[in-house]
C-alpha cells in the first residue's frame, strides 16, 4: 500500500494545494491499488485510466487561481450513474455494453469541482438489494473478510474506500444504500435531505425517497465531498440555491445536548452483537456530556409506507418487465409486479401516513438535537446469502424487511449518517446511525465529528483485504 493511500482526502487536497503531489501521480497510485486489490474484492469492475489521466493533466495545466475545489482527488462513481464514454451497466445484463454519450449532473459537478473519476463501483442490479452482486460483474467482497458481503447498494463504493482504491466515493440511497455499506465496511455513508445533492433530469423529479450522497473514510472528508456535490440545478425541484460550507461544521464541531436513542425503533429484531456496539456508542455520548433519553419517532407505519411507495417507483419499469422479464432478477420482478397491483386508495393512504410521519418527526426534533439508533439489524453476513430471511427468530416478510432501521428513516426526509462504531469479536464492522431534522445536514456533520473524535472503538482505514 502506497503511503499516500493512508492519507485522508482532506490531507491529499492540502498536499495538492501545496504542490507536494500532482493529480497525475494520484491517479497512478489509485490505478496501481485497484490492480493490486480489486481482483480480490471486485469493488471497481470498470476502470477508465485514459480518461482519468487526461482529466488529471487538464487540472495540472490550470493556473493556481483556476484550480478547482477538490484539486484533483481520484474518486469512484456508482454504476447507477452515467459517465460519458465509460461503461455504465446499472448491474444489469440489459445494459452490459452501454456506453453513455453524456455524464450525469452529479458527475459533471464533481469533475467541474476537481474530482477525478477513475472507475465505476459495483452495485446490485438497478440498485435493488443490500448485498452487492449482479449477473454482469458478480459479487463485491468485504476487505474485512472476503467471505462477507459489503452491503448495498453502494457496496462497491464502500469497498473501494476501505481498501484504499480511492479517497472519495459517490453513492445513492433509497432504503439505506449509503448507510448499510457504510456500516458493513466501517466507512461513512451520508444520506442528505432531498435536494441537497441535485439529480435529474429524469422521469420522477418529485421523488423524495431516492437521493445521492457522499461516502468517505471520515466525517471531514464527507463534508469536503458534500461541498463538491451541492448546488442549484434547474431540473431538480428540491435543489437549493444556497448551502453552507459543510467543512465549517466539522471545524466547529458541537456536542449534542439532548440525544434520543432507540435500540429497536419500536420493537424490531436486533442481533446481540449490534446491541453491544450500540451500548458502546451511547457511552461515547455520555463521555461527551450529552443527556441521553430513550425515545423514538413513531415509525409503526413505516413497513407499510415503504412497501407501497418503493413499489410505486418500480411500477414505472413496467415496460422493462414486459419486454425483458427473463433478464431481471427475482427481486426486481417482485418490486415491479407489486407496484402494478397497487390501487389509488393504497397510494393515497401511504402518502397520508407519510405526511403524518413527517409531521411527527418535526415535532420530535423540537425536543431533541439528535436521534441515535443502529444502522443495520445484523453485522456483515456471508456473501452467498442474498438477504436476511430471519433475524433473532423473526421471519422477514420480503427482501427489504431486514432494512427497517434505514428505510424507516428514509421516509422522514431527515439527513442521516452511518458512522464507524465498533467491531464484533471476530473483526466485523458495525455502524451507528445518527439522524437530525430535515435540511439540517450542518448540525448532523457537526455532531458526527464530535462522536468520531471521541469514539475509541473504531479502527482507522484503509486496510488490505483479509481472507
Residues 350 and 309: beta-carbon distance below 8 Å = yes
Cell triple for 153: 447498494
Would you tell me the crossing angle of helices 441-454 and 219-229 to the nearest 10 degrees?
Answer: 160
Cβ count within 10 A of residue 235 = 12
Which residues make Cβ contacts (< 8 Å) with residue 122, sequence separation at least 6?
42, 43, 44, 45, 79, 91, 132, 134, 137, 140, 155, 156, 159
What are the catalytic residues?
A: 78, 153, 177
267 pLDDT tier (thresholds 50, 70, 90): very high
pLDDT band at 219 (very low <50, low <70, confident <90, very high): very high
Binning pLDDT at 50, 70 and 90, where does residue 202 land?
confident
**pLDDT tens sequence across 406-438:** 999 999 999 999 999 999 999 999 999 999 999
Q: Do 152 and 173 contact (CB within 8 A), yes or no?
A: no
Q: Return the CATH architecture of domain 3-454.
A: Alpha-Beta Complex (3.90)
Question: Is the pLDDT assigned to residue 203 strictly greater than 90?
Answer: no
Chain centre to alpha carbon of residue 107: 16
pTM above 0.95, yes or no: yes
pLDDT tens-digit profile of 104-159? 999 999 999 999 999 999 999 999 999 999 999 999 999 999 999 999 999 999 99
* Structure confidence at residue 250 as a pLDDT band (50, 70, 90): very high
Q: State the pLDDT at residue 467.
A: 86
pLDDT digits (tens, 9 = 90+) for 372-394: 999 999 999 999 999 999 999 99
Helical packing angle, 23-41 and 9-17, nearest 10°: 160
Which residue has cell 445484523?
A: 378
Q: Is the pLDDT of residue 255 over 90?
A: yes
| CA distances from residue 254 to 188, 211, 317, 371 in whole angstroms, order as listed | 18, 26, 44, 15
What is the pLDDT averaged over residues 319-336?
Answer: 93
> Exposure string (b/e) for 288-303, b if CB count within 10 Å is 16 or more?
bebeeeeebbebebbb
Pairing state between β 115-121 and 73-78: parallel
What value does the mean pLDDT take over residues 17-25? 98
| Mean pLDDT (the chain, rounded) | 97
Q: What is the CA radius of gyration of the chain?
A: 21
For residue 153, cis peptide bond before it (omega within 30 degrees of 0): yes
Q: Dig out the grid coordinates for 106 from the structure.
A: 452529479
Amino acid at each position: 500500500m502506497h503511503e499516500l493511500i493512508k492519507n485522508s482526502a482532506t490531507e491529499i487536497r492540502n498536499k495538492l494545494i501545496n504542490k507536494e503531489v500532482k493529480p497525475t501521480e494520484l491517479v497512478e497510485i489509485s490505478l496501481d491499488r485497484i490492480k493490486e486489490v480489486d481482483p480480490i474484492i471486485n469493488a471497481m469492475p470498470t476502470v477508465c485510466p485514459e480518461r482519468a489521466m487526461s482529466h488529471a493533466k487538464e487540472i495540472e495545466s490550470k493556473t493556481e487561481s483556476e484550480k478547482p475545489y477538490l484539486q484533483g482527488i481520484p474518486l469512484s462513481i456508482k454504476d447507477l450513474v452515467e459517465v460519458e464514454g465509460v461503461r455504465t451497466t446499472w448491474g444489469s445484463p440489459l445494459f452490459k455494453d452501454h456506453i453513455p454519450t453524456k455524464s450525469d449532473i452529479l458527475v459533471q459537478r464533481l469533475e467541474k469541482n476537481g474530482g477525478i473519476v477513475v472507475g465505476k463501483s459495483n452495485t446490485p442490479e438497478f440498485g435493488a438489494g443490500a448485498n452487492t452482486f449482479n449477473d454482469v460483474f458478480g459479487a463485491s467482497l468485504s476487505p474485512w473478510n472476503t467471505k462477507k458481503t459489503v452491503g448495498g447498494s453502494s457496496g462497491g463504493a464502500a469497498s473501494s474506500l476501505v481498501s484504499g482504491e480511492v479517497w472519495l466515493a459517490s453513492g445513492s440511497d433509497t432504503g439505506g444504500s449509503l448507510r448499510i455499506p457504510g456500516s458493513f465496511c466501517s466507512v461513512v455513508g451520508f444520506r442528505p435531505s432531498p435536494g441537497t445533492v441535485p439529480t435529474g433530469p429524469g422521469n420522477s423529479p418529485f421523488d423524495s425517497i431516492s437521493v445521492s450522497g457522499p461516502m468517505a473514510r471520515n466525517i471531514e472528508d464527507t463534508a469536503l465531498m458534500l461541498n463538491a456535490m451541492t448546488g442549484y440545478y434547474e431540473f431538480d425541484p428540491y435543489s437549493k440555491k444556497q448551502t453552507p460550507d459543510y467543512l465549517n461544521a466539522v471545524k466547529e464541531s458541537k456536542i449534542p445536548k439532548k440525544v434520543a436513542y432507540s435500540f429497536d425503533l419500536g420493537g424490531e429484531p436486533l442481533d446481540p452483537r449490534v446491541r453491544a456496539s450500540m451500548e458502546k456508542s451511547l457511552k461515547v455520548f455520555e463521555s461527551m456530556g450529552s443527556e441521553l433519553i430513550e425515545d423514538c419517532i413513531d415509525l409503526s407505519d413505516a413497513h407499510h409506507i415503504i412497501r407501497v411507495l418503493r413499489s410505486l417507483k418500480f411500477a414505472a419499469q413496467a415496460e422493462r418487465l414486459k419486454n425483458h422479464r427473463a433478464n431481471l432478477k427475482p427481486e426486481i420482478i417482485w418490486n415491479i409486479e407489486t407496484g402494478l397491483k397497487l390501487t389509488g386508495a393504497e397510494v393515497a393512504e401511504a402518502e397520508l401516513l407519510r405526511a403524518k410521519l413527517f409531521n411527527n418527526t418535526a415535532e420530535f426534533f423540537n425536543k431533541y438535537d439528535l436521534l441515535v439508533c443502529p444502522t443495520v439489524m445484523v453485522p456483515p453476513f456471508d456473501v452467498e446469502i442474498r438477504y436476511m430471511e430471519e433475524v433473532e427468530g423473526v421471519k422477514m416478510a420480503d427482501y427489504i424487511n431486514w432494512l427497517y432501521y434505514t428505510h424507516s428513516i428514509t421516509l422522514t426526509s431527515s439527513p442521516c449518517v452511518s458512522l464507524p462504531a465498533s467491531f464484533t469479536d471476530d473483526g466485523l464492522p458495525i455502524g451507528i446511525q445518527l439522524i437530525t431534522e430535515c435540511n439540517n445536514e450542518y448540525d448532523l456533520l457537526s455532531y458526527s465529528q464530535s462522536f468520531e473524535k471521541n469514539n475509541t472503538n473504531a479502527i482507522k482505514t484503509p486496510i488490505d483485504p483479509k481472507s
